[in-house]
Amino acid sequence: MSRRGDMTQQVGLWRLNLVRLMFILIVLGLGWRLADLQIFNPDFLRYQGDARHLRQVPVVAHRGMILDSQGEPLAISTPVHSVWLNPQDVALDEPKLSSLAVMLGQNIREIQEKIATNQSREFVYLKRRVTPELADQVKQLNIRGVALQREYKRYYPAGEVASHIVGFTNIDDIGQEGLELTYDAVLTGRSGLKRMVRDSRGNYVEGGELIRPAKAGENIQLSMDLRLQYLTYQALKNAVTEHSAKAGTAVVIDIHSGEVLAMANQPSFNPNNRHGLRASDFRNRAVTDLFEPGSTVKPFTVTSGIKSGKYDLNTIINTHPGVFRVSGHSIRDYRDYGEIDLATLIQKSSNIAASKIALDLDPDELWHDFARFGLGEATGAYFPGEAMGTMPDLSSWRKLDIATMGYGYGLSTSALQLARAYSVLGSGGILKPVTFVKTDETPKGRRVFSADIMSQVITMMEKVVEPGGTGTRASVANYRVAGKSGTAKKAISGGYADDRYQSVFAGLIPASSPRLAMVVMVDEPRGEEYYGGAVAAPVFAEVMTGAMRLLNIAPDALPSTQMQVAHK
């Protein structure tokens, strides 16, 4: 019995030692693991915790503003929220999803499909740029994995008045049209980075650690004067409506600086609500659309004639009997003007006299004189989609082509390019680049004609606005105006339409020392009036009357009685 008892005692002692050994091993194992985590590899648990609760979240940068020349905002970014979810955190059977779907105006099945098909992702938008009220309602639902992200929405205070110049951005705040596209790299800031903590429901806790601050985009100040822009836009719109025209465009340039002070188009669009619009609705007609300038280039033909030495103020050109045959084609005047000088050519807009000058000049020199006005080349404005215009091909220039170019057919230009060409007249023969951005320095430009020739041509152009001229409706009280009207038939397949016109007026003011150049083009006016002097000239008069007051430009044609009172 004693031997059996000893054996039992030995077995019990062995089992106890085994338990003790196992306990010791467990303690040693736990101790080793604890030492490994705390001493040898202390970052492991921290990494695992961070991986579950810490996220690096981008901080959206504020896009720079676009301002007019007086500092008025044309494009600003306002903070908004977008609703998003993490498909890995949102349960398909989440009971509050139906309420969320109703708030967002979406189908709950669409939301569930986004969750199910994006399990490998951690970020999926549900709705961009929601109202503050809706964002607050979503936040109150407190759904795990559903959160708000702050973004910016572009807003355009001037609406359709300046839309073709300013352009717009897409939903990601990237420039798509106009100057928003041209200066996108300058306006776009650099996004920042922030380390945020997520709670157990997957929502970000307020605060966080800023890793890299966001850098806001730079502001751009345009040369556009919003006051003058409103005036130009309304005058053009009224003209297009009054004459039931297809479209219209108008450009105002500061002759001294080359700055675009106003540019309007009809029809226009609202950049704050582009639903249902086509890409063609966004084009800036003043820059992208080309047309044959018609009689508005006759001052250029006269300039080339004087420059050649063959013509001067006293030269007489015989236009009798009002019809001129060239290569089997008839060139006609409105009536038989008989023998006329250069001033009458411009005043009465004689096609015959202009074509005779063109045919009398060296074709190569005539072509290059037109090019010296900046025709057929970029204006330097760097506007998206700018058309350079076209000039005739010298190698295949026929006699009829030379004759018709003298009065504005066979070449094409944009309204902006034609306004720049007229600024050459106003600046005394200096061709300058055009800019949409405000500048404090006057560009040097390059001299292309003598100041004396430009002065002679401007004096002739003043007769266009005086009684007996074709542009009397462009007159501005107390100011001398130099201008030229133009009425060109629209080119169609196989020739020109007999009942579709483009009415143009281009002018300078004040003529004694030109400050502004303006071009107005109305496309396909319908009705009894379709001449440039009747359709486009009144727009010039209305805009320039307001511009002289807004820009505080002194009159140069006050009646003698007012001048006497002023001296007293």
Looking at residue 146, which CATH number applies to its domain?
A: 3.90.1310.10
Residue 321 pLDDT grade (very low, low, confident, very high; cuts 50, 70, 90) = very high
Please indicate whether residue 28 or residue 524 has the higher confidence score (pLDDT): 524
Residues 452-504 have pLDDT tens digits of 999 999 999 999 999 999 999 999 999 999 999 999 999 888 889 988 999 99
Residue 546 pLDDT grade (very low, low, confident, very high; cuts 50, 70, 90) = very high
For range 377-384, the mean pLDDT? 92
| Predicted pLDDT of residue 454 | 98
For range 166-188, the mean pLDDT? 94
Q: Which domain range does residue 349 map to?
A: 226-567
Task: Count the residues in the chain.
Answer: 568
Q: Is residue 41 in a domain?
A: no
For range 318-335, the mean pLDDT? 96
Across all residues in the chain, what is the average pLDDT? Answer: 90
Most confidently modeled of 179-193, 195-209, 350-364?
350-364
Does residue 160 sit in the same domain as residue 189? yes
Residue 330 pLDDT grade (very low, low, confident, very high; cuts 50, 70, 90) = very high
Domain ends where: 186, 221, 256? 221
Residues acting as catalytic residues = 295
Does residue 198 sit in the same domain as residue 244? no
CB 486 within 8 A of CB 408: yes
Does residue 202 sit in the same domain as residue 239? no
Domain ends where: 166, 194, 221? 221
Q: Parallel, antiparallel, or unpaired for β 66-67 and 220-221?
A: parallel
Does residue 538 sit in the same domain as residue 479? yes
Instruction: Judge whether residue 240 has pLDDT over 80.
Output: yes
Instruction: Judge whether residue 45 has pLDDT over 60.
Output: no
Torsion from C-alpha of 81, 139, 199, 121, nearest 10 degrees: -50
**How many independent structural domains does the chain possess?**
2
Q: Whole-angstrom Cα distance, residue 79 to residue 251?
A: 34
Does residue 213 sit in the same domain as residue 267? no
Q: Is residue 538 in a domain?
A: yes
Residue 197 pLDDT grade (very low, low, confident, very high; cuts 50, 70, 90) = low
Q: Is residue 361 in a domain?
A: yes
Residue 245 has φ and ψ, to the nearest 5°, of -80, 160
For range 438-449, the mean pLDDT? 92
Q: Whole-angstrom Cα distance, residue 282 to residue 2?
A: 110
Does residue 133 sit in the same domain as residue 242? no
Q: Whole-angstrom Cα distance, residue 447 to residue 565?
A: 40
Q: What is the pTM of this model?
A: 0.84
| Predicted pLDDT of residue 43 | 59
Q: Is residue 21 in a domain?
A: no
Which percentage of the chain shows pLDDT scores above 90?
Answer: 67
Does residue 297 sit in the same domain as residue 340? yes
Does residue 195 sit in the same domain as residue 339? no
Residues 81-101 have pLDDT tens digits of 899 888 888 888 888 899 999
Look at 126-130, 180-184, 334-338 and tell me which has the smallest mean pLDDT. Answer: 126-130
**CATH number assigned to the domain comprising residue 538:** 3.40.710.10
Q: Is residue 8 in a domain?
A: no
Please indicate whether residue 79 or residue 339 has the higher confidence score (pLDDT): 339
| Predicted pLDDT of residue 278 | 87
Does residue 243 sit in the same domain as residue 186? no
The closest of 333, 292, 319, 316 to 470, measured between CA atoms, is 333
